[in-house]
Amino acid sequence: MTSTRPNKAARTSERILDIAERLVQSRGFNSVSYADIASELGITTASLHYHFPGKAELGQALISRYAERFADALNRIDDELPNAQAKLEAYAALYADVLRGKRMCMCGILAAEYQTLPTPMRRAVIRFFDDNRKWLVQVLTQGRRDHTLSFNGAKDEIAQSILSALEGAMLVARPYGDLGRFDATTRQLLSGLTS
């Protein structure tokens, strides 16, 4: 008989990723060490290396998990919300929720450290942004078709502007500890797209 409970190693790997994600989203990747994670988890750094041989592998796993959860959230938005305007509002709310938790978008904070990241992590960060841009293009296409959104210019450029504005709004609001600054940017951004 096979147990359906995850084994101890899988549970430990998830706990490592949970701690590392929180630390990276609040401090940045280069400011987090294996010692920080091991200490918080109550294990040795050698044990940590058993699960993730190097920091590059840990970073890759963090991005993969974050991007997968973000993609799941986008799929839920598509499934649950009827029109493009509501989808954009829910998309912005994803960023607001992260900021509300006193964190940054994982890939946004990694983008700030892009030049120092290992190549596989760089590619994964770009893929995250590209996937978001593609999803936004689909929403903009739907919004133009169902007349819930109005905009001038190429959908790809508008999508890039939305993504950049939200990531930038997070960065600017963070030092103030003021979600209202982010919300004001979001309201302005979305009102400019509403029919």
142-169: b (≥16 Cβ within 10 Å) or e: bbbeeebbebeeebeebbbbbbebbbeb
The full set of domains in the chain, from first to last, is 59-191 (1.10.357.10)
Over range 183-192, report the average pLDDT. Answer: 94
pLDDT tens string 126-138: 999 999 999 999 9
4, pLDDT greater than 80: no
**pTM for this predicted structure:** 0.91
SS3 192: coil
Rounded to an integer, what distance in angstroms lies between the CA atom of residue 103 and that of residue 28?
Answer: 10
Q: Which residues contact 10 (CB under 8 A, 6 or more apart)?
A: none
